[in-house]
């Protein structure tokens, strides 16, 4: 029975809690059990109990709009990471670009520095601090897993690590930000950027402040994570050549459609001699391109390698359940 500390309990954390509860019997038969000993949040309060918290009760609190009840804990999130007794830190606080991955980066640093394992769906700390965190994990004997930082639960990092052992990845490209792909799809139908953005927020896919999506920062963070992990580059989101979708118009999207094309926000990483290049930007794709067939919240990645033809992974219609599954898969890998 692993003791887990949760930092963050938004839609992904709640989906993970529901998944753990609904599949408890099957997971137990696989020899897997998790005891939540702390849940720390920005807006719902903090609770901690070494004997184990009742995730069902916490879900009830959230669903009824209440803050968490007892046993309340006066520590900060960082203090919890530094002092509580846990086996694995589940870091699912929101992405922060402006603060270069903080405070999640400090949370993860504290856990790894104590030799604890970390699973995270937060791409910020990996995008900004992967090199340092990897070293910390190696020195202190912890593990750092982050499958759900890109394409939710769809296997990307596990696939590269476990299923491409004899190969060398040379480039990747993808549609990795669901919010902008949804907005572009709606704008092709004539819905203005602002209205489409509001819809994405109402559907719960975009965050309340969708600036990170619109400006390409979320995509740049994912691109940095992929460039670091798949290509061994030393880049942060700030190093990714980046443009967003803020200047795109319905008319331009519809004009492309008439010509059999679609504009898509494409993330790329590739080797250029000894350099690794990374970019995020709108590209006009021919309708025959696999990426041009992706609507709404779909996402996809193409992995190019020395020993295989291009392989694509595509997910159709992901939800927070998929991100939660990525975390569960990482927890099972530990």
Strand partners, 40: 7, 46
Q: Which is nearer to a second copy, 42 or 289 (CB)?
A: 289
Question: Active-site residue among 222, 258, 264, 316?
Answer: 222
Smallest gap from residue 178 Cβ to a second copy (A): 11
Q: Calculate the dihedral angle through the C-alpha atoms of 192, 240, 275, 307, rounding to the nearest 10 degrees.
A: -50
Smallest gap from residue 329 Cβ to a second copy (A): 6
Exposed, middle or buried: residue 29 (CB in 10 Å: 0-12, 13-18, 19+)? exposed
Q: Which is nearer to a second copy, 72 or 290 (CB)?
A: 290
Taking alpha carbons only, the member of 44, 82, 52, 266 closest to residue 172 is 266
Q: Which is nearer to a second copy, 263 or 325 (CB)?
A: 325
DSSP state of 72: B
Q: Is 222 a catalytic residue?
A: yes
Smallest gap from residue 313 Cβ to a second copy (A): 6
Taking alpha carbons only, the member of 237, 264, 259, 251 closest to residue 183 is 264
Q: Which is nearer to a second copy, 47 or 145 (CB)?
A: 145
Q: Which residue has the tokens 């790894």?
A: 112
Q: Which is nearer to a second copy, 197 or 305 (CB)?
A: 305
DSSP state of 216: T
Smallest gap from residue 9 Cβ to a second copy (A): 19
Distance CA 321, CA 310 (A): 28
Taking alpha carbons only, the member of 157, 137, 189, 138 closest to residue 303 is 157
- CB under 8 Å to 256, separation ≥6 — which residues? 262, 263, 284
Pairing state between β 2-7 and 34-40 = parallel
Binding site for a second copy (CB under 8 A): 19, 23, 26-27, 30, 32, 152-155, 158-159, 162-168, 288, 290, 293, 295, 307-319, 321-322, 325, 328-329, 331-333
Say if residue 71 is preceded by a cis peptide, omega within 30 of 0. Answer: yes
Q: Which is nearer to a second copy, 149 or 236 (CB)?
A: 149
Smallest gap from residue 88 Cβ to a second copy (A): 15
Smallest gap from residue 296 Cβ to a second copy (A): 11
Catalytically active residues are 222
């Amino acid at each position: 029975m692993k003791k887990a500390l949760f930092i963050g309990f938004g839609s992904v954390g709640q989906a993970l809690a529901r998944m753990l509860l609904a599949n408890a019997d099957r997971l137990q038969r696989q020899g897997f059990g998790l005891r939540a000993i702390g849940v720390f949040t920005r807006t719902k309060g903090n609770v901690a109990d070494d004997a184990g918290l009742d995730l069902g009760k916490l879900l009830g609190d959230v669903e009824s709009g209440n803050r968490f009840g007892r046993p309340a804990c006066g520590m900060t999130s960082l203090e919890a990471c530094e002092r509580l007794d846990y086996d694995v830190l589940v870091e699912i606080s929101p992405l922060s670009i402006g603060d270069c991955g903080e405070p999640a980066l400090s949370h993860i640093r504290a856990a790894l520095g104590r030799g604890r394992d970390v699973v995270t769906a937060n791409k910020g700390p990996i995008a900004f601090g992967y090199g340092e965190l990897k070293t910390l994990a190696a020195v202190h004997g912890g593990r750092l897993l982050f499958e759900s930082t890109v394409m939710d639960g769809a296997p990307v990092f596990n696939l590269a690590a476990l299923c491409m052992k004899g190969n060398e990845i040379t480039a990747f490209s993808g549609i990795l930000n669901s919010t902008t792909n949804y907005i572009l799809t709606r704008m092709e139908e004539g819905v203005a950027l602002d209205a489409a953005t509001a819809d994405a927020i109402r559907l719960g896919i975009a965050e309340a402040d969708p600036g990170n999506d619109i400006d390409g920062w979320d995509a740049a963070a994912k691109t940095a994570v992929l460039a670091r992990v798949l290509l061994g580059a030393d880049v942060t989101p700030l190093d990714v050549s980046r443009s967003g979708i803020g200047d795109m118009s319905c008319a331009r999207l519809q004009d492309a459609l008439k010509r059999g094309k679609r504009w898509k926000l494409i993330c790329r990483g590739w080797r250029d001699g000894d350099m690794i290049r990374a970019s995020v930007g709108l590209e006009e794709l021919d309708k025959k391109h696999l990426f041009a067939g992706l609507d709404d919240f779909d996402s996809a990645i193409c992995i190019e390698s020395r020993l295989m033809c291009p392989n694509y992974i595509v997910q159709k219609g992901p939800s927070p359940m998929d991100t939660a599954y990525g975390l569960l898969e990482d927890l099972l890998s530990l």
